[in-house]
Amino acid sequence: MGTPDHGGTDAAGGDQRFDIVVPTIGRASLLALLDGIASGPGPWPEQVLLVDDRGVDSPLEVGSVPPALSARLRVLRSGHGGPAAARNVGWRAAGAPWVAFLDDDVVPSVGWRAALVEDLVRVGPDVGASQGRIVVPSPADRRPTDWERQVAGLSTARWVTADLVVRREALRRVGGFDERFPRAYREDADLAVRLRRSGYVLEQGSRVVTHPVGVAPWSISIRRQAGNADDALMRRKHGRHWRRSAEAGRGRLARHALTTVSLAIGALACCHRATRRVGTGALALGTAEIAWFTWQRIRPGPRTRREVARMAVTSVLIPPVATAQRLRGWWRARRLIPGPAPAAVLFDRDGTLVRDVPYNGDPTRVEPMPGAREALDRLRRDGVPVGVVSNQSGVARGLLQASDVAAVNARVDELLGPLDVWRVCLHGEPDGCGCRKPAPGLVVGAAADLGVPVERCVVIGDIGADVEAARRAGARGVMVPTPATRADEVVAAPVVAADLERAVDLLIGPSR
């Protein structure tokens, strides 16, 4: 196996040190993955971060870890948040300049580490990610089944995280994976689109992993239609031409919708004598579509009795399930603020997180607004940093001491949980400072403190100065009005939510 060494610095490609992140649900294939990483020559990862996404308290059973990796292995937990959440937990715990994401059901080829570093040596400073080659074994003695052909699609898919190495700085800049994608579908395409829009280049590498075809239940093709809901989120985030940006195939949703609507119209119309002819035509169209779809799935396969029966049953069910899933995704995404998930959410204090007590310096008078703790906790569970940006001109007016403001802020932390950043302006309006809202200083400073791009922050407040400060900083603003909010401020606000819970819905989607 050779003497363990670390990725170093090369004049051509910069620093090639890397960590490996593997989200896992405890598959038996995990040990084969670790054996593959350890096989052959090449620099060793700084860390191998296994992110346990099972959502159970029992320890993750890894098996006999190769000795060369045991000292570098760390097991983290992501609380059953899905692959995107697990990968975020992993890369945020990483420290190397590059983060290599591998799925727990792939097997790296011998010498994968050396090939990875060779890929990294060749990249330029504008490259944000490198995709490995994925090989899916085909059966040697027969045609592949429908499920095997679906898995084989990974070999030509673009920017999938079965083997994807990304600059850690690029991940930080775009905020990592969007955890609104709950399954292993489209979260990688979404990341690729955002990396490119941030100016990064994505390249194809030469390293290879093998992705065996696992055993799947007969209903797997029906279950996979849940991805249509994620397609609705992609459209909401990236516009109607998102498939072009993500280099994704066109899909069959339009024909599935046509089939579903035709059958529904036919069934309803045939119930009435006056419309029976229309109903018969619609049923014929829907039936023809199903027959064509079924044959397209049967034709390239092994055509065994079992496979034909499976295709016949699932081809009838797929169109309405796909259509229903797309409608479900549209319903969930319809009110989301277009654009990426927030890198941080900054709240006004008085009137937003806690009831507005003018010039309050008494911690005992702090009372959270309805839903404030729940809204903050939802963002925390999704890994979104939260903070406060607050004007406290009572100090400049001589009505408060800075220590009074700090005591009230400490009470807010106590009642609502610790905030990741506090930015407070103690000046008065005549001082003309650059931090007092609606000036952008508090928002810009809070983003800098958190290490996130200010344009990916959202400011939630109850008055016009809050959303105006967001606009001037280049962030997004959401207004949650109170009875004290002026009507003209509500009209002028770019986005208005009835309460904090609905404001968070706009940002990360309704709670699942």
Active site (catalytic) residues: 348, 350
Tell me how far apart the alpha carbons of residues 436 and 341 are, in angstroms, rounded to a whole number: 26
Tell me how far apart the alpha carbons of residues 450 and 453 are, in angstroms, rounded to a whole number: 9
- For residue 494, the 8-state DSSP code is S
Token pair, residue 499, equals 């309460």
- Could you tell me how many residues make up the chain? 512
Tell me how far apart the alpha carbons of residues 136 and 482 are, in angstroms, rounded to a whole number: 57
DSSP string, 438-491: TSSHHHHHHHHHHTS-GGGEEEEESSHHHHHHHHHHT-EEEE---TTS-HHHHH
Q: Are the beta carbons of 102 and 34 closer than 8 angstroms?
A: no
Helix or strand run (H / E) with residue 107:
strand 107-108
- For residue 65, the 8-state DSSP code is -
Say if strands 421-425 and 386-391 run parallel, antiparallel, or are unpaired.
parallel
Q: Are the beta carbons of 26 and 60 closer than 8 angstroms?
A: yes
Q: Are the beta carbons of 246 and 193 closer than 8 angstroms?
A: yes
Tell me how far apart the alpha carbons of residues 400 and 378 are, in angstroms, rounded to a whole number: 33
* Nearest CA-CA partner of 51 in 20, 97, 29: 20
Residue 347 three-state SS? strand
* Nearest CA-CA partner of 259 in 302, 318, 306, 311: 318
Q: Report residue 455 CA to chain centroid gap.
A: 18
Give me the residue label for tokens 């609507």.
261
Q: Are the beta carbons of 506 and 495 closer than 8 angstroms?
A: yes
Tell me how far apart the alpha carbons of residues 213 and 230 are, in angstroms, rounded to a whole number: 23
**Amino acid sitting at position 77:** R
Cα angle 461, 375, 420; round to 5:
75
* Nearest CA-CA partner of 463 in 348, 373, 292, 338: 348
**Which residue stretches of 62-136 are H helix?**
67-70, 83-93, 112-122
Residue 388 three-state SS? strand
Cβ-count burial of 483 within 10 angstroms (0-12 exposed, 13-18 middle, 19+ buried)?
exposed
Structural Rg of the chain based on CA atoms: 27
User: Partners of 131 in the beta sheet?
Assistant: 164, 204
